[in-house]
Structure 1
Amino acid sequence: MSIEPLAIGVCSWSLQVSSIPELKGFLDRLGVDVVQIACGDPHHASWVEGDNMPTVARAAGFRMWGTMLGFPGEDYTTPQTIEKTGGFGDPALRPERIERFRWGLARTRELGLSDMMLHAGFIPEVGDPGRKSFLDTLAQVADLARQAGVTIAFETGQETAALLRRTLDELQCPNLRVNFDPANMLLYDKDDPLQALDLIAPYLRSVHMKDACRPTVPRTWGTEVPLGQGQTNTRAIVRKLWQLGYTGPLLIEREVGTQEERFRDIEYGVRYLRQCLAELN
């Protein structure tokens, strides 16, 4: 099913659901039918449907914009713990994570989708001795995805937009793109999201609508807040996406609070984004 540009959607893991009917019920209550769906890893929801999840999801009546893959062992307790454990950063973990990545590609295709989002890990700076092997791993990831007919979108946040852009420019892999998350840039205390969007625009594939405030203490997390209540300038980002001709959906992500609190904040986010879209001209 096609998805119109700037359609409002939700990230399935934000709703903390464990079954497809539960997900469908929340979407119906929100009045949206677009979702980015978790493959089913420990960080992004385990589905009670198990291996049958793709069949059930495809028959559920909602529209899906790609999958999200996380890796067992990723630790988001602090920025330092995720730097050590995130994505393909640790060379010792790369073989098993490549295998998990292969599984995610298969799950994505079983869902009838051709996009998968994930955190690549902290990209080493230019001149770092570990940069070449990291980029070689990303090139391997791109080739595996190409063989499966899947486009990979790396989440923003851990590194500056300039470093991410340079890395993708160097790799020259047509199926490596960006999942733009403005709040992550503040949570990790990196770029101004609006300026970063201009820099990574040529690689833009998907967007997580999330809001946050920068940390007040260095090397600690910033604070995630409901849409429109933080420092990302959500209204300006929506307008910039429209001006850039972005054709994907606006996927609300909320990663703090109880399930009830998250639903309330996402419900507010849906209304807020509708206001933002109504202001475009």
Structure 2
Amino acid sequence: MPIPPLMIGVCSWSLQVTNVPELKGFLDKLGINVVQIACGDPHHASWAEGDAMPAAARAAGFQMSGAMLGFPGEDYTSPQTIEKTGGFGDPATRPERLERFKWALARTKELGLTDLMLHAGFIPEVGAPERKAFLDTLTQVADLAKQADVIVAFETGQESATLLRRTLDDLKAPNLKVNFDPANMLLYDKDEPLKVLDLLAPDIRSVHLKDAKRPTVKGSWGEEVPLGTGQTDTKGFVKALQRIGFTGPLCIEREVGTQADRFRDIEHGVRFLRECLAS
């Protein structure tokens, strides 16, 4: 069944689950039934079910909005390390990551889904000598996804919204979209989310709901905080999503703290989003 507009969901990796029954148990405790699910591999949000995970997830009774891919070797220690190791940024890792992407496309289909989210990596600026090769790689991504009948949504934050808009316009691939994460824009010290929402609105396919504060030291990470306690203006963001006609779910993401800390903060986030929607 289709997921109703603006249903509250959660990102599976935020709960640090290792198997499908554990995920189902957390969803039941949260009182929600929608999840964006990690593809899973030994390096990123692995599943005890292994190759049997898609069948187990389909039979679990929850609804999945899409799948998420992370690449082995991505290093989020600092903005500088992820710039070097993230997505398709490093030419040396592109061949193996395209193979991992093909695997993720197959897993997305096994899950019965049409959407796959990932970080493309730091997109080179217009005029940079490395931009053409990077865009050629993203064209391969689009072509492979088209063959699989999958929509790929690039997560925001590692580049400005203006650069992402220009890149999508240059690629002219209708199956390349946006996973809009307002907190990432603050964590990476980029745009004001509400000011650039309209720029990306035509291509927003999915969203992550988390909150953050900008870094106080240039070149360092911002601080991720529970929903409603940071600088993203989550209430305003939800209203803006309604204004632009976004009909997808609101998937809460939490990426710091112990499993217990994350569950507590996600539980708070569910309550907070319900208040936002009610008002």
Alignment deviations for residues 208-265 of structure 1 (CA, whole Å, 9 cap, x no partner) = 0010000000000000000000000000000000010001000000000000000000
What is the alpha-carbon distance in structure 2 between the residues aligned to residue 273 and residue 42 of structure 1?
Answer: 33
Q: Which residue of 1 aligns with 2:71?
A: 71
1:18 aligns with 2:37: no
Matched to 1:202, the amino acid is: P
1:101 maps to 2:95: no
- Aligned partner of 1:176: which letter? L
Judge conservation of contact 1:44–1:68 (CA < 8 Å) in 2.
Answer: no
- When the two structures are superposed, what TM-score results if normalisation uses the length of structure 2? 0.99
Matched, 1:86 2:86: yes
Residues 42, 70 of structure 1: 8 Å contact kept: no
Determine whether 1:240 maps to 2:272: no
> Any idea what SS the aligned residue of 1:270 has?
helix
SS in structure 1 at match of 2:88: coil
Q: Give the aligned residue type for 2:17.
A: V
Matched AA of 1:217: V
Equivalent residue, structure 1, for 2:224 = 224
Local SS of the residue matching 1:154: strand
Q: Which amino acid aligns with 1:162?
A: T
Q: Give the equivalent residue in structure 2 for 1:153.
A: 153
Residue by residue over 1:32-53, the C-alpha shift from the partner in whole angstroms, topping out at 9 and shown as x without a partner, is: 0000000003564100000000
Change (3 A) 1:42 1:163: farther
Q: Contact (CA 8 Å) 2:212, 2:230: kept in 1 or not?
A: yes
Give the aligned partner of residue 133 of structure 1.
133
The answer to whether the 8 Å contact 1:41/1:69 transfers is no
RMSD between superposed Cα atoms in Å: 0.6
Distance across 2 between alignment mates of 1:27 and 1:44? 20
Displacement of 1:94 after TM fit? Answer: 0.2
Shift of 1:198: 1.2
**Within-5 A mapping of 1:1-281:** 1-42=1-42, 44-279=44-279
- The 3 A distance-change label for structure 1 pair 42 and 74 is farther
- 8 Å contact 2:154–2:176 — kept in the other structure? yes
1:266 corresponds to which letter in structure 2?
Answer: I
SS at the partner of 1:13?
helix
Distance in structure 2 (CA, Å) of the matches to 1:114 and 1:41: 19
SS at match of 1:47: coil
Answer whether contact 2:44 2:72 (CA < 8 A) is retained. no
Structure 1: runs of 5 or more not aligned: none
Supply the distance in 1 between the matched residues of 2:44 and 2:255 (Cα, whole angstroms).
10
Going from structure 1 to structure 2, the CA distance change for 1:221 and 1:139 (only over 3 Å counts) comes to same
Unaligned 5+ runs, structure 2: none
Change (3 A) 1:60 1:256: same
Deviations 1:90-132 (A, max 9, x none): 0010000000000000000000001000000000000100000
- Letter matched to residue 35 of structure 1: V
* 4+ long deviations beyond 6 Å: none
Per-residue CA shift, 1:129-159, capped at 9, x if unaligned? 0000000100100000000010000000000
1:2 positional shift = 1.0
1:101 and 1:152 map into 2 onto residues whose CA distance is: 10
Structure 2 counterpart of 1:25, one-letter code: G
Instruction: Supply the distance in 1 between the matched residues of 2:196 and 2:152 (Cα, whole angstroms).
Output: 19
Deviations 1:58-116 (A, max 9, x none): 00000000000000000000000000000000001000000000000000000000100
Alignment length (residue pairs): 279
User: What is the distance in 2 between the residues matched to 1:97 and 1:27?
Assistant: 31
CA distance in 2 between partners of 1:43 and 1:191 (Å): 30
Separation in 2 of the partners of 1:41 and 1:50?
Answer: 8
CA–CA distance in structure 1, aligned partners of residues 226 and 274 of structure 2: 15
Provide the secondary structure at the position in 2 that maps to 1:97: helix
Q: Tell me, what secondary structure is at the counterpart of 1:125?
A: coil
**CA 196–43 in structure 1, closer or farther in 2 if over 3 Å, else same:** farther
